[in-house]
Amino acid sequence: RLRRRIQQLHNVARLRRRREEFIEALDARSMTFWQAVRSLSLIFDQRYSEMALDEKIDEFLKASRMRHPSSEALTRLLVKKNFEPPRYNEMFQLETFFLPEALFSGCGPSLLLCVLGKQICQVNGWGGTIILYSGKFMLQTPEGVILMPEEKWQALKDLDVTRFHVCSGQALVHTY
């Protein structure tokens, strides 16, 4: 019983430290959106340790390597990984908002899925931009193709460029 109580106190102290570090980094604006998502996942979804989450992320990124990065290859990969927003009955389950669930099941909010898509682009030496169009988050590839998570990553055409907004990292942190 004593050992279990010590472990509980250690977990509470670790969680408190993570929250304080997150708030300090947020105040200092020194955190990328990817770091914010990772930190929030560790704070609110405590099923994974920091090391286990990092291993899961590394596995995911290694499995996401593309020989010839292109918008088509990225779309195939995202569809193959079953990345899609939650259905209506899953929409309000807290765990769907964090990395472990998105990496395991492919289910997550559009913004998180776009961030994962952007990470795939980056690990392949390619860029990627998250945009907001008509109130929906989408991923723009370096080729200028805009992919929409809600439509199974379908490429959108004929967009009115005056209606979309390129999202910066800090704006995304505050949105998430």
Model confidence at 89, pLDDT cuts 50, 70, 90, reads: low
Tokens matching residue 95: 């765990």
Q: What is the pLDDT of residue 93?
A: 73
- As a whole number, mean pLDDT of residues 60-78 equals 92
Higher pLDDT, 114 or 90: 114
- As a whole number, mean pLDDT of residues 113-118 equals 94
Q: What is the pLDDT of residue 112?
A: 92
Nearest to 119 by CA among 58, 161, 50: 58
Average pLDDT value for the chain: 87
Nearest to 41 by CA among 53, 31, 29, 51: 53
Residues contacting residue 44 through CB under 8 Å, at least 6 positions apart: 94, 97, 98
Nearest to 99 by CA among 15, 24, 23, 39: 39
- As a whole number, mean pLDDT of residues 15-35 equals 85
The half-sphere exposure of 86 on its side-chain side, counting CA atoms within 13 A, is 17
Q: What is the pLDDT of residue 91?
A: 64
Report the percent of the chain where pLDDT is more than 70: 94
- As a whole number, mean pLDDT of residues 120-127 equals 91
pLDDT at 135 over 80: yes
